[in-house]
Structure 1
Amino acid sequence: MRVVSGKCKGRPLKAVPGSGTRPTTDKVKESIFNIIGPYFDGGTALDLFAGSGGLGIEALSRGIEQAIFVDREHKAIQTVKANLEACQFSGKAEVYKNDAERALKAISKRNLSFRLILLDPPYKLQKLVELVELIHSNGLLDNDGLIVCEHGSETTLPDRIGSFFKWKQETYGIIAVTIFQKELLPNE
């Protein structure tokens, strides 16, 4: 596992110890960022099921200015912090041990919004529709922002969730990636 492109290209990343976390493969990570970027000129990202932090760190390496990493597992939090340190991104990141719903509610109280929200929950615990609805109802996505959902290829997400529409969907074997974008009203 490594950073695929950008400032930290080629930098190896530690995996979360144990078998409870399934890191996004470099191939899928590269494909995701080729679709949504490939590079950014600032903005804030939220890596909600951070695991090793690979997706959020990739975003930082490709130009995202700040990122918030959330995971509910202590080993994952330690791994994210170690990977951020190795990439010298600690000053551009906040790392929290929390579950996804609580984290979204806490973030909404800070009046934050994101250019990029990365959702890669464990496949057996997928509540992606509910999470995207929470993001919608709390106004957490910038007008030009994207929500990237990684899920099992057997899962089909709806074409619309709140004010978000399915912009793109790709399948990579047993992995699927669905990307949502905000539908803008004429005066936005």
Structure 2
Amino acid sequence: MRLAHNLNSLLATYHYLSKPKTLYLVAGCGKQTNQKAAAKEVYCSQHFQACRKYAQTQGGWKILSPLHKVLEPEEIISPYDLSPRSLSPNERQQWAQEVARRIMQKTNPDTEIVFLTVKLYRKQVIPILKAHKYVIRTPMEGLGIGQQIRWLTDKLSASKQLELKI
């Protein structure tokens, strides 16, 4: 009996330690507030809010910003008017290199990177991270904005139902 207990404890510890870390990246996009606030409060589009809620239930997350590159959710910023679409191809490539560099500074290749973003925010970042052996997931790839919001809403709903059943 004691051996079984010790074995279960050992397996639980191994599972906890070997579970890869995951970092969720959310695009700071769309409508913004008109005052300085924590980055997670500045972006107020429906898409951002859905991505934010989902990422918060999953664990660690950061915000990708055309101006600030990578933001901590609690980082205080002022609203700005810049979109990845307004950047030239060269500026987008420089942006992607800086985003990848900052992500690699804060993580290691054992960290799974999950992009909850539209293609423009991930297109040039992913090849850089993959070249450094990062595992990348894009669970909403190929979905339009409305479909992404629905996917996120469904996942959050399923998560709440699971919590209630436990």
Whether TM-score is above 0.5 comes out as no
Higher relative helix content:
2
Larger Rg belongs to: 2
Normalising by structure 1, what TM-score? 0.31
Q: Which has the higher strand share?
A: 1
Higher RCO (CA < 8 A, seq sep 6+): 2
Taking structure 2 as the reference length, what is the TM-score of the superposition?
Answer: 0.34
